[in-house]
């Protein structure tokens, strides 16, 4: 099946038009505005020393402010973690004791169950060993009496 070339050209043309008006034009205007502001600041500060100090202070503030906000967020998170861990440490020892008590009880139950499961096998082996021991003693005593 062959697609008509007229149908495929319209979306491409619309996309190019939209990308120009929605991406490239605003980006270009923003870059031009920043360049104009920086050029005007450097021209005006070249003539006046105090004005250049003013612009340097403004630039420093603009650079430091985002770092301070991010640091504030980290500080709040860190304070919350410290507070939460302090509360958690006061609760944890009680629950650890309860958990250890539970596991001790569980190990006791498992030990009793394992002994009950193994008891028949052990009794058969013990009886078999006793019979072998008695048999070997009888054989050795009969061999000593004959010899």
pLDDT-based confidence at residue 65 (cuts at 50, 70, 90): very high
* 8 Å CB contact between 45 and 52: yes
Q: How far apart are CA 119 and CA 140, in angstroms?
A: 31
Is the full-model pTM beyond 0.85? no
pLDDT, tens only, 38-47: 888 778 777 7
Examine the pLDDT at 79 and tell me if it is beyond 90. yes
pLDDT, tens only, 6-29: 567 777 888 888 888 899 999 999
Sign of the four-CA dihedral 61, 63, 69, 72: negative
């Amino acid at each position: 099946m062959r697609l008509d070339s007229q149908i495929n050209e319209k979306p491409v043309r619309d996309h190019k038009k939209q990308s120009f008006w929605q991406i490239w034009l605003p980006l270009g205007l923003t870059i031009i505005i920043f360049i104009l502001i920086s050029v005007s600041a450097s021209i005006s500060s070249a003539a006046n020393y105090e004005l250049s100090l003013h612009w340097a202070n403004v630039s420093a503030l603009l650079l430091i402010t985002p770092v301070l906000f991010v640091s504030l967020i980290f500080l709040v998170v860190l304070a919350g973690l410290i507070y939460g861990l302090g509360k958690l440490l006061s609760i944890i020892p009680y629950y650890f004791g309860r958990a250890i008590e539970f596991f001790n009880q569980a190990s006791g139950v498992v030990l009793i169950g394992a002994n009950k499961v193994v008891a028949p096998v052990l009794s058969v082996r013990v009886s078999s060993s006793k019979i072998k021991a008695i048999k070997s003693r009888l054989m050795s005593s009969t061999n000593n009496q004959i010899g």
